[in-house]
Amino acid sequence: MPQLGYGVYQVTKDECERCVRDALKIGYRLIDTTQSYFNEEEVGNAIAKSGIPRDEIFLTTKVWIEHYGYERAKVSVLESMRKLQVDYLDLCLLHQPFADAYGAYRALEELYDEGKIRAIGISNFYTDRMVDFASFNRIKPMVNQVEIHPHNQQTEAKAWHDKYGIQMEAWAPFGEGRGDMFHTPELQVIAEKYGKSVAQVILRWHLQRGIVIIPKSTHLERMEENFHVFDFSLSEDDMAVIATIDKKQSSFFSHTDPNMVEWFVKMVEERKQQHDCTKDKKNW
């Protein structure tokens, strides 16, 4: 699994194929999408037209909540593969820790056994749920994709993931710039020291912590900037400075907030009726 990839969260259907093709031309080989982004077909088109051998691309998608439960999850994964135009997935995750996640995970285990998925895992599972899943499923999750960035560094969670041998992956490596991230004085000083951008310093910080990252941009120059982070290293002092800006809380929302859980439930019910929530602006 490449440690640096390209994510397509909130990349529109109109732009997605072009963006993924640009990312692949730059050199990205990990592409991350999900059923809930409604752009799997465009990702598949880009990969098919790229001319890059399938075994050189690490492709990830995720099962959305309304497809949880054993039977629905299995059908949805096969449908995702059809849209992506592939006969196997490199990684498939459960997108959220709600509903019949255990039933859905059994479907992933079975597809893994059949060779249709080469690695399986979870997303947005807090540490207690991660330990639960690692302990009470036949196949331990291999990846957990969660919110990680300099304002929410997940230090304790990473120690637990390391203990269980589960790779952490950041779905918001920049925290979407919230909290004025890109103007954080400590990060600006370090960026000036190396002649790099704050974004590049943040990505390098992730890499040196052993976190897989999937930064998203629709702009070619930003994609290139985000990819060029292997020609410098942060010192131990730099890493220690960045550790001081950890706010130790989400910049988005808490999955343990019952109001947030109700919001997910409402969204799933609406999607069952409408079969479309592309206009929904909430983050997930």
Exactly one of 37, 68, 105, 112 is catalytic; name it. 37
Q: How many CA atoms lie within 13 A of 234 on its CB side?
A: 26
Confidence of residue 281 (pLDDT cuts 50, 70, 90): very low
Confidence of residue 272 (pLDDT cuts 50, 70, 90): confident
Confidence of residue 275 (pLDDT cuts 50, 70, 90): low
Asked if 94 and 105 touch (Cβ cutoff 8 Å), the reply is yes
Instruction: Report pLDDT digits (tens) over 26-83.
Output: 999 999 999 999 999 999 999 999 999 999 999 999 999 999 999 999 999 999 999 9
pLDDT of 276 over the 60 cut: no
pLDDT of 199 over the 50 cut: yes
CA-wise closest residue to 122 among 84, 78, 73: 73
Asked if 49 and 21 touch (Cβ cutoff 8 Å), the reply is yes
Asked if 246 and 150 touch (Cβ cutoff 8 Å), the reply is yes
- The C-alpha atoms of residue 225 and residue 271 are separated, in whole angstroms, by 37
Instruction: Report pLDDT digits (tens) over 140-150.
Output: 999 999 999 99
Q: Which range among 9-13, 18-22, 118-122 shows the weakest confidence by mean pLDDT?
A: 9-13
Question: What residues are paired with 275 via a beta bridge?
Answer: none
Active site residue 70: no
Asked if 203 and 231 touch (Cβ cutoff 8 Å), the reply is no
Which run of H or E residues covers position 274?
helix 258-274
pLDDT of 269 over the 90 cut: no
Both structure tokens of 205? 């910080």
Dihedral over alpha carbons 36, 166, 85, 274 (to 10 degrees): -10
Asked if 52 and 24 touch (Cβ cutoff 8 Å), the reply is yes
Asked if 252 and 150 touch (Cβ cutoff 8 Å), the reply is no
- The C-alpha atoms of residue 197 and residue 191 are separated, in whole angstroms, by 5
Backbone phi and psi for residue 168, each to the nearest 5 degrees, phi listed first: -90, 140
103: Cβ contacts below 8 Å, ≥ 6 apart: 68, 69, 70, 73
Instruction: Report pLDDT digits (tens) over 86-136.
Output: 999 999 999 999 999 999 999 999 999 999 999 999 999 999 999 999 999
